[in-house]
């Protein structure tokens, strides 16, 4: 039987050690507004919405979601260590949906059109049909809380879409196969429509 050479074993172990989910670094949510049990974390965004503005040189939750996506999408279970992890789960799923929409788009222009159409879709909140994770977030206690959370999710989805286009397509406008190949993955065994 063939055996891996001794000098390659550390590389193999390092490359294929997907034992742990990447968690959000935003564990301290003191003083941050919450809606439906989710912290409304600051964003580096020019898009209007309820999210506080973050410094451009700091990492935000969208950066984390895109950075960790290709590792986290392989997991069927996600151990939640902070309330920001709930948002990371939601964004990982949303990136999966967006990549599925980009799958057949051969140019950046086509991809941009597909992402804009995705952004125009109604954003469900916990308790409404179409929300992908029932039980992950608390149900809204009032209509204003539901609208606050809906507007935050809409803002964070639009921001994620814009940043995702910059990694899913190369500077020349052609698809980046190292990203679009992940459109076939099912995150937490949820089938993307």
Domain ranges of the chain: 56-187
What is the pLDDT at residue 59?
83
The domain 56-187: what is its CATH number? 1.10.1760.10
Handedness of CA 158, 162, 37, 183 (dihedral sign): positive
Mean pLDDT over 155-174 rounds to 92
What is the pLDDT at residue 187?
57
Enumerate the β-bridge partners of residue 39. 34
What is the pLDDT at residue 147?
96
Place 29 in a pLDDT band, splitting at 50, 70 and 90.
low
Handedness of CA 112, 168, 104, 150 (dihedral sign): negative
Which one has a higher pLDDT value, 187 or 179?
A: 179
User: For 180, phi and psi rounded to 5 degrees?
Assistant: -70, -20
CA neighbours closer than 13 Å in the CB half-sphere of residue 145: 15
Residues 31-87: tens digit of each pLDDT: 788 899 889 999 998 889 999 888 888 888 899 889 888 777 776 676 777 788 889
Is residue 169 pLDDT above 90, yes or no? yes
Is residue 24 pLDDT above 70, yes or no? no
Place 28 in a pLDDT band, splitting at 50, 70 and 90.
low
Across the chain, mean pLDDT equals: 81
Residue matched to tokens 């910059």: 166
To the question of pTM greater than 0.75 for the whole model, the response is yes
């Amino acid at each position: 039987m063939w055996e891996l050479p001794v000098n390659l074993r550390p590389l193999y172990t390092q490359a294929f050690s997907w034992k742990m989910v990447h968690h959000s670094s935003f564990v301290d949510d003191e003083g941050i507004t919450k809606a439906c049990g989710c912290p409304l974390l600051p964003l580096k965004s020019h898009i209007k919405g309820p999210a506080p503005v973050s410094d451009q040189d700091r990492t935000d939750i969208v950066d984390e979601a895109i950075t960790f996506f290709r590792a986290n999408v392989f997991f069927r279970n996600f151990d939640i260590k902070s309330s920001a992890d709930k948002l990371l789960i939601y964004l990982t799923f949303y990136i999966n949906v967006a990549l599925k929409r980009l799958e057949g788009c051969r140019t950046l222009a086509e991809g941009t059109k597909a992402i804009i159409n995705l952004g125009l879709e109604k954003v469900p909140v916990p308790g409404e049909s179409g929300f992908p994770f029932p039980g992950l977030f608390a149900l809204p206690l009032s209509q204003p809380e539901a609208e606050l959370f809906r507007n935050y999710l809409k803002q964070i989805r639009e921001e994620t879409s814009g940043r995702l286009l910059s990694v899913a397509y190369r500077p020349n406008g052609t698809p980046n196969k190292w990203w679009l190949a992940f459109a076939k993955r099912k995150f937490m065994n949820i089938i993307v429509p």
